[in-house]
Amino acid sequence: MIFHINATMPDHKSGIEHAEIKRFNLFKHFNVAQRLVLREWDPNGHVNVNAAGISDDELINMFDYFQGTAHVEAQQLTAEMLDFGVSQVSFVNEDEQSRFLVMSAQGQLVARVNYDKLRHQQVRSVELFDGYNNLFRVDHYDSRGFRSLLQWYSPDNKIELESWVTQDGTPVLEAYYKHTMADQTGLTKTSWHLHQVDGQVYQFDTIEALTTHFFDLINRDFWSIDHPNIFILDRAHLGDEGLLRLKQPAYTVMHLHNSHAGDAQEPMHSILNNNYEYAMNALNQYDSVVSATPQQTRDVKARFVPTNALFTIPVGIVDDALLNAKRVPVKARTFGKVIAFARIAWEKHLDDLVRAVGIVKKEFPEVTLDLYGYADGTDNFKARRAVEAAIAEYHLEDAVSMKGYTTDIDAVENDAMMYGLTSRMEGFNLAIMEAISHGLISFTYDVNYGPNEIVQDDVNGRIVPYENYQAMADAMLQVLRDEQLAQRYSDGAYDSAQRYSEKNVMAAWQALIDDAAMVWPAKLAASPAIASQREGE
């Protein structure tokens, strides 16, 4: 069994989630046994996972696993269907806040029921009040229509206990909040208690320790002496401890989705990316390491000199239907339309792309830029404010549009002419791979890792010096002035997308799967747990 490990599957997905879904669908196409493993509690988790094309049978969520709620048929649940323990309650609809006030016959507030407007007032949570109007508990409901998490509040309105329950209300997992020596004023989550079906109660100091226990259980559930379970860790912090301490052997994979170095342009000497610091210092304890590009594989090998297996596997996959789709010639596209699919975040540096477009527009007034992606709220939306400042500086209010998040990629990319990328760092960049697969002419900074390999200079677009938006503008101008050059780059884009075909990417993953099978006998022989088991037989 192959386990793809992540935190959750949000509605607005980052590149890691998109890459994970593509890999999952690829494995499904080739009939590989697999499960998506999610660590975080998420009331909308099943809805979002199903929307991504993954069924409940293919999902293991840690909280579902312990609560016994992996397979629950969704039902409609409205405020009127709830029992508040008080007779003759009335409901006051506060539509703007998407909630009902639940009042007793004496006019006292009993509860607030928060609902989802888009799902016929489906209950999301219930805030419960005592006879003195103090909030004492909040019940959170799974989107499938049952109570899942209960949060108990202290007299000073702080969470002091969280309890995850079965459908019949039995607590199975509890998180306790206490004062600590480090913080005597607030409450800190200090322990987790797990009540298992066999009657045993386990205590864990951290969610990481609980996660380790969870990994052990699913490894046991699917364990076979004939072949290894393969754990692919897509977010290091979710398992960089637990996967290295499994009680029974498995094949563990550290998947690098971004630069391992804090400064991607100085991969050999800069401090480590804090998301990978633990993993990179424990690199040899994993069975293999996956990088998305040959350059990162070379840099990891040169800096860390690992003794385990290194694999280069693109995180992007272009499906056969897209590779074989009818090509859109440049003359059929909107002349001068530049697009980018990216979060408006510091690392994407989209204000530089706006500046490049501002320079180009002086010669070609019809040039426009559409930015697709949600804004990162860090530092009071600093990145978005930088983009807005660049728009104002170049008077591009009518030329640059922030479109927000979209999934309608095909229509957008079959209409646009050019794609721009001005990132400070990348791990691969699915968006620019999607761009070339739709025949877009791509322009990128010479940035590690991914864009400077996906874009092939003077073949499917141009690579310009890092952080040189004037050079990017010059490259765009060259294409806009030369129709034949533009078509050559577009043809080159379509052709170069073949590198990321389903067949080619699956062959790269198959090499890793074959390695897992090859080293499995040695792992079994070296495992104290297996040796002890055999002695007892």
The pLDDT tens digits of the residues spanning 304-314 come to 999 999 999 99
Last residue of a domain, one of 265, 289, 312: 312
> Where residue 8 sits, what CATH number does that domain have?
3.40.50.2000
Same domain, 292 and 373: no
Confidence band (pLDDT; 50, 70, 90) for 298?
very high
Shared domain check, 482 and 351: yes
Decide if 189 is inside a domain. Answer: yes
Burial 127-164 (b: 16+ CB within 10 A, else e): bbbeeeeeeebbbbbbbbbbbbbbbebeeeeeeebbbb
Instruction: For residue 512, tell me if it sits in a domain.
Output: no
| pLDDT digit string, tens, across residues 487-496 | 999 999 999 9
What CATH code is carried by the domain that includes residue 106? 3.90.930
**What pLDDT, on the 0 to 100 scale, is given for residue 529?**
73
Terminal Cα-to-Cα distance of the chain (whole angstroms): 25
Residues 469 and 397 in one domain: yes
Q: What is the pLDDT averaged over residues 224-232?
A: 95
CB neighbour list of residue 432: distance below 8 Å, 6 or more residues apart:
419, 421, 442, 444, 450, 451, 454, 455
Which of 190, 206, 222 is a domain's end point? 206
- Whether 535 has a pLDDT exceeding 60, the answer reads no
Mean pLDDT of 368-388: 95
Say if residue 232 is in the same domain as residue 105.
no
Q: Evaluate whether residue 525 is within a structural domain.
A: no
Let me know whether 100 and 33 are in one domain.
no
Per-residue confidence band for 81, with pLDDT thresholds at 50, 70 and 90: very high
Same domain, yes or no: 464 and 374: yes
For 48, the token pair is 């979002």
Q: Say yes or no: 481 and 337 in one domain.
A: yes
Same domain for 199 and 215, yes or no, is no
In the predicted model, what is the mean pLDDT of residues 61-76? 96
What pLDDT is stored for residue 427 in this prediction?
Answer: 86
- What is the per-residue pLDDT across 430-472, written as a single tens digit (0 to 9) for each? 999 999 999 999 999 999 999 999 999 999 999 999 999 999 9
Per-position DSSP letters for 237-249, written without gaps between them: GGTTTGGGG-SS-
pLDDT at 237: 87
pLDDT of amino acid 185: 65
In a domain, 523, yes or no: no
Report the pLDDT averaged over residues 240-260.
93
Q: What is the DSSP string of 186-239?
A: S-EEEEEEEE-TTS-EEEESSHHHHHHHHHHHHHHHT--SSS--EEEESSGGGT
Residues 242 and 125 grouped into a single domain: no
Q: Are residues 374 and 423 in the same domain?
A: yes
Do residues 421 and 447 both lie within one domain? yes
Of 118-122, 181-185, 372-376, 471-475, the range with the lowest mean pLDDT is: 181-185
Q: Please indicate, yes or no, if residue 536 is contained in any of the structural domains.
A: no
**Dist. CA 509–CA 488, nearest whole Å:** 32
User: Is residue 96 scored above 70 in pLDDT?
Assistant: yes
pLDDT of residue 371: 97
Residue 530 lies in a domain: no
Confirm whether 478 is domain-assigned.
yes
Domain stops at, among 262, 285, 312: 312
Q: What is the pTM of this model?
A: 0.89
- Is the domain of 294 the same as that of 147? no
The whole-number pLDDT of residue 494 equals 98
Most confident of 153-157, 291-295, 404-408: 291-295
Domain with 62, as residue range(s), is 2-70+209-312
Domain count, the chain: 3
In a domain, 241, yes or no: yes
Band of residue 536 on the pLDDT scale cut at 50, 70, 90: low
What pLDDT is stored for residue 221 in this prediction? 97
